[in-house]
Amino acid sequence: MSLSIQDVLKNKGIEVKQAHLNVLEARWENMKALRADLKHANIDDADIGVRNIPGGDHIE
Amino acid sequence: MSKNLLNLSVEELAPLLKNQSISPVELTKEVLGHAERSQPQINAYMDFYREDAEQAAQQAEKEILNGQYRGMYHGIPMALKDNLYFRDKKTTMSSKIHENFVSSYDATVVENLREAGVIFTGKLSMHEYAWGITNNNPHYGAVRNPWDLNKIPGGSSGGSGAAVAVGSSVASLGTDTAGSIRIPASACGIVGLKPTHGLVSKYGCYPLAWSLDHIGPMTKTVKDAAGLLEIIAGYDKNDPTSINRPKDQYLPKVTGEVKDLVIGINEDFFFNQVDTDINNLVRTSIQKLVDLGAKVETVKIPTLQYAEWAELVTSLSEASAIHHSDLQKRPDDFGDDIRLLFELGELPSAVDYLQAQQIRRQLKQDFQEAFKKIDVLISPTLPVAPNTIGDDFVDLNGQQVDLIDNIIRFTGPANLTGIPALSVPCGFKGNLPIGLQIMGPAFSEAQLLNVGYAIEQTKPLQGKKPNLLLHS
């Protein structure tokens, strides 16, 4: 089942401006196309992309 | 005399203030008067602090007369971008939603500048919530480029760029999440520095995207930027992204000496799809550095091909998280352009966001590898010249291309990696100034400023000023 952008946002309690729908869909398609290229990216499952700084905000 | 004062940089004004040739009161009066007179054309200011500024100027005058000169920025009138908190003053982010927001405390950078003796003349307009690059604000009107009033000043720190260029603020601060210091710096013919992430505290700055936001100088000259960075850089326990390292001195390292400097050029990304005139101007500036003894190396940075996606997913997601509740409750109070971006930012998944962070880490490693071979990486700041206000498309070698997608192409990677990046003027395309971007390894601000100074010494703007400044 594939939800429309309008439905996805409605489920989050966000009312999309009707005039935005076409642009929103076009921009989202562009982002999906950019994402598709990621299959060529040399990232490994073990590559760590986020950090957990122990004990607080700063390492003193 | 007044025209001269408005034309002077901080590095030129500071000795005059120190030796009491001019007074902070006189200078502040000139700058504020000019700011008010140019407001109908430029629209750079959100708010004027005339009374406060006059009092602060008198205080500065008294201190200087008593021999208590605090340094380069003592007695310098400055206005700041309206997303930096001033105690008991409105900070609106140039938005309707925050139109009456009053902070109970100063941002750390504001506190730093107060201690340095800066005189605050007011707050400067910005693209709403810093989420855009035109500064065509639906609530407070468009800011205009002082070099051509029909053109955008760039954004989101467009008020800061326009005000410094036209002399209605002697220097300023901007914020930069995908290029928002460097874009208006380039468009307005001034210097803009996005420092290393964590070097300048963001405490008391309304966020756009936490992991990409930076605060930095926007100034008339490179030495002004170096002096301003010395004041605002430093560890702040209130900012979780602040980095605790010894304070650096930048001004003494700005000499213009570039012999044996290794300049990196990345043709695949940073010189791809660039306006021909801009391309020529940047390459001419690089050649001038070579004539001064620098060398050029070409470098590959493979992960740059995924940078646009990672930057988009990261910035859109973080910005939409911040504004999620207002997007649900009062969407009509956002400008149309940023409402659309907030809607778009609700669409990426958590997996998208986390994979974008993996790309970000790999991109950082690629840059680190490149910087083992080169000292700095030079590119155009923008691939296109500033467009006409209200136009969503811009000319790129005869083709009309999307403005937003193109204008942040070369600035975004430095936000994603956190490395410092400086924009300095390198010439004109028609009547509009063009910027050149210098990037370097983390905490290499002194090096970037020095290279920027070497370019500045070649007089790329040929002494030209915006007409509004010349005829003030």
The C-alpha atoms of residue B472 and residue B470 are separated, in whole angstroms, by 6
Catalytic residue check, B29: no
Which residue blocks in A1-60 are alpha helix, DSSP H? 5-11, 21-36
State the average pLDDT over residues B374-382.
98
Partner-chain contact B352 A35, CB within 8 Å: yes
pTM, two decimal places: 0.97
Residue B213 has pLDDT above 80, yes or no: yes
Query: Does B2 have pLDDT greater than 60?
Result: no
Strands (E), B371-420: 376-380, 393-396, 399-402
Give CA–CA dist B272/B435, Å, rounded: 16
Smallest CA–CA distance, residue A29 to chain B, in Å, is 11
ipTM of the complex: 0.94
Distances (CA, A) of B301 to A38, B43, B263: 16, 40, 15
CB contact under 8 A, B237 and A58: yes
Instruction: Say which of A13, A20, A24 has its CB closest to residue B328.
Output: A13
Quick one: B217 exposed, middle or buried, by C-beta within 10 A (0-12, 13-18, 19+)?
buried
* A10-53 pLDDT per residue, tens: 999 999 988 889 999 999 999 999 988 888 887 888 888 898 88
Strands B295-298 and B262-265: parallel
Q: For residue B362, is pLDDT > 90?
A: yes
Average the pLDDT over B227-242 and give the result: 97
Confidence at residue B469, expressed as pLDDT on a 0 to 100 scale: 80
What radius of gyration do chain B's Cα atoms show?
A: 21
- The order of strands in the sheet holding B77-81 is B45-48, B119-124, B77-81
Question: What's chain B's average pLDDT?
Answer: 97
For range B436-459, the mean pLDDT: 98
Boundaries of every domain in chain B: 130-470
Beta-sheet pairing, B421-429 with B393-396: unpaired
Picking from A16, A27, A41, the nearest residue to B359 by CB comes out as A41
Count contacts between A and B (CB, < 8 Å). 86
**Alpha-carbon distance B452 to B289, whole Å?**
10
* CATH 3.40.190.290 corresponds to the domain B130-470: no
What distance lies between CA A1 and its chain's CA centroid?
19
Instruction: Tell me how far apart the 2 most distant CA atoms of chain A are, in Å.
Output: 51
